[in-house]
């Protein structure tokens, strides 16, 4: 199913108003394990909603029509391909987008990232996002929950575990692509990974460059220790940097703004080496 392009402002507004249905439907097919049933270790055989339901449902109470409506919506956003047989029955397979949401041979995918981004605790903050304009002294999440996200997550083991899975699902494929193209760790003996979460990025770097020694520490409790190089991903600032997503009170910067920041911090040069999937940009600051 292809989305109809239109210049109608009314249709555009209707789509904007109902966009919440897209991530909620995406959450639904992930929670129902629809993508893994279709993917089935790489077969990706087109299945009807009824066939999918028979594989995931316990008992006869499931509704294939409701599932098909969800599948057709996500087809219009490029998650599924729709195949209509001679009998008119609709079957669905995964696009490249859908495949990224199905577990790979290591059990990793972008599915936990989708679920993590739409947990109730985070969604409750969105209706108050306008307050960030009127009163920037406190973030919407803090106004709802009384504390910062990482503190809140630390007290909720299930949320924390899901975040760890989400970060692994995102970090590992990016780091594999990054290390295939980047050789800037050649000659590095000591490396600090600032803002490291589950340690996946550092583990992949050290697996490839086994002479590197990791310099440990806690950024929240001490200064960054001396090292040959510093690696940062998805936080505000950079030395050897993969950056798009920024943490609390983070800031988006252009290349020229990063360059000015580096010069102000004592670096002589910035190289914007390449992009990974047009998402992360590899920035290298040199002394």
Q: Domain-by-domain residue ranges, the chain?
A: 9-99, 111-164, 171-286
Topology at the third CATH level for domain 171-286:
Rossmann fold (3.40.50)
224 contacts: CB under 8 Å, gap ≥ 6 = 192, 194, 217, 230
Q: How far apart are CA 285 and CA 271, in angstroms?
A: 7
pLDDT value for 196: 60
Q: Which CATH class is domain 9-99?
A: mainly alpha
Predicted local confidence at residue 209, as pLDDT: 87
How is 47-88 classified by DSSP, letter by letter?
EEHHHHHHHH-SSTT--HHHHHHHHHHHHTTTSEEEEE-TT-
* Sign (positive or negative) of CA dihedral 138, 139, 142, 148: negative
Q: Mean pLDDT for each consecutive 10-residue tract of the chain (287 residues)?
A: 68 92 98 94 93 84 94 98 93 97 91 96 95 90 92 92 89 85 82 70 86 66 67 49 47 77 82 73 77
Q: With contact defined as beta carbons under 8 Å apart, do 192 and 231 qualify? A: yes
Alpha-carbon distances of 2 from 19, 38, 65, 84, 193, rounded to whole Å: 17, 21, 20, 14, 43
Tell if the pTM clears 0.85, that is, is over it: no
Sheet holding 80-84, edge to edge: 47-48, 90-94, 80-84
- Residue 239 CB contacts under 8 Å (≥ 6 apart), including other chains: 194, 229, 230, 231, 232, 267, 285
Using CA atoms, how far apart are residues 53 and 228, in angstroms rounded to an integer?
A: 54
C-alpha of 166 from chain center: 7
Please state, in angstroms and rounded to a whole number, the distance separating the CA atoms of residues 131 and 184: 43
């Amino acid at each position: 199913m292809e989305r109809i392009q239109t210049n109608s402002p009314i249709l555009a507004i209707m789509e904007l108003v109902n966009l919440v249905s897209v991530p909620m439907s995406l959450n639904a097919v992930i929670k129902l394990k629809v993508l893994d049933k279709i993917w089935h270790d790489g077969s990706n055989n087109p299945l009807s909603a009824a066939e999918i339901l028979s594989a995931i449902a316990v008992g006869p109470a499931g509704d294939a029509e409701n599932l098909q409506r969800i599948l057709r919506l996500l087809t219009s956003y490029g998650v599924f391909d729709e195949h209509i047989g001679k009998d008119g029955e609709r079957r669905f397979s995964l696009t490249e987008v859908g495949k990224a949401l199905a577990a790979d041979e290591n059990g990793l995918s972008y599915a936990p990232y989708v679920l993590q981004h739409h947990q109730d605790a985070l969604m409750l903050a969105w209706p108050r996002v306008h307050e960030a304009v009127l009163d920037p002294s406190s973030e919407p999440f803090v106004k709802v929950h009384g504390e910062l996200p990482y503190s809140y997550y630390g007290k909720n083991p299930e949320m924390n575990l899901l975040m760890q899975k989400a970060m692994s699902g995102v970090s590992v494929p990016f780091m594999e692509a990054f290390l295939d193209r980047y050789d800037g760790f050649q000659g590095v003996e000591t490396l600090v990974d600032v803002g490291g979460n589950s340690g996946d990025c550092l583990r992949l770097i050290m697996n490839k460059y086994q002479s590197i020694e990791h310099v440990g520490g806690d950024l929240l409790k001490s200064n960054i220790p001396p090292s040959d190089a510093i690696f940062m991903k998805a936080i505000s600032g950079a030395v050897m940097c993969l950056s798009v997503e920024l943490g609390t009170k983070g800031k988006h910067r252009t290349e020229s703004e990063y360059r000015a920041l580096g010069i102000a911090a004592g670096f002589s040069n910035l190289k914007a080496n390449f992009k990974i999937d047009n998402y992360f940009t590899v920035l290298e600051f040199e002394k």
